[in-house]
Structure 1
Amino acid sequence: MAMQSDYLAGLPRRRIAACALIRDEQGSVCLVDPTYRDGMILPGGTVEANEAPRDGCGREVHEELGVRLAIGRLLTMRWVPPTLPADEHGSMILVYDGGVVDADTIRQFVVPPDELHGLAFIAPDDLDRFTPNGSADRIRGGLEALAANELVEF
Structure 2
Amino acid sequence: MRTVHKTGGMVEATETPSEAAAREIGEEVGLHVPIGRLLVVDSLPARLTRHGRALTAHVFDAPVLNAAQARSLVFADGEVRAARWLAPKDAIAQLPTVLGNRIEAAFRALRHGDVEVLDHTATASLDDPERGDGR
Length, aligned pairs only = 115
The aligned counterpart of 2:123 is: none
2:92/2:104 contact within 8 Å kept: no
Provide, for residues 53-94 of structure 1, a one-character-per-residue CA deviation record: whole Å limited to 9, x for no partner: 11111000011111100000100000123333xx33320000
1:118 maps to 82
2:56 counterpart letter in structure 1: M
Deviation per CA, 1:82-133: give whole Å up to 9, x if none.
333xx33320000001121111211111112622221111111112442113
Could you tell me which residue of structure 1 aligns to residue 131 of structure 2? Answer: none
For residues 1-154 of structure 1, what are the structure 2 equivalents within 5 Å? 39-82=3-46, 83-84=49-50, 87-112=51-76, 114-154=78-118
Question: Unmatched 5+ residue regions in structure 1?
Answer: 1-37
* Distance verdict in 2 for CA 1:52–1:113, change over 3 Å: closer
Distance in 1 separating the partners of 2:39 and 2:67 = 24
Which has a greater percent of strand? 1
Q: What is the deviation of 1:44?
A: 2.0
CA RMSD in angstroms comes to 1.6
Structure with higher Rg: it is: 1
After the TM superposition, list the runs of 4 or more consecutive aligned residues in structure 1 that deviate by more than 3 angstroms.
none
User: Once the two structures are superposed, what CA deviation does each residue of 1:24-75 show, in whole Å capped at 9, x if it has no partner?
Assistant: xxxxxxxxxxxxxx72222121111121111111000011111100000100
Structure 2 distance, partners of 1:129, 1:40, is 10
In structure 2, runs of 5+ residues without a counterpart are 119-135
CA distance in 1, matches of 2:77, 2:83: 11
Instruction: Report % sequence identity.
Output: 30
Given that residues 39 and 115 in structure 2 are in contact (C-alpha distance below 8 angstroms), is that contact kept between their aligned partners in structure 1? yes
Secondary structure, aligned partner of 1:46: coil
TM-score, length of structure 2 as denominator length: 0.77
- Normalising by structure 1, report the TM-score: 0.68
Give the letter for the 1:133 counterpart: T
Aligned with 1:122: secondary structure?
coil
Q: CA separation in 2, counterparts of 1:39 and 1:98?
A: 23
Amino acid at match of 2:68: D
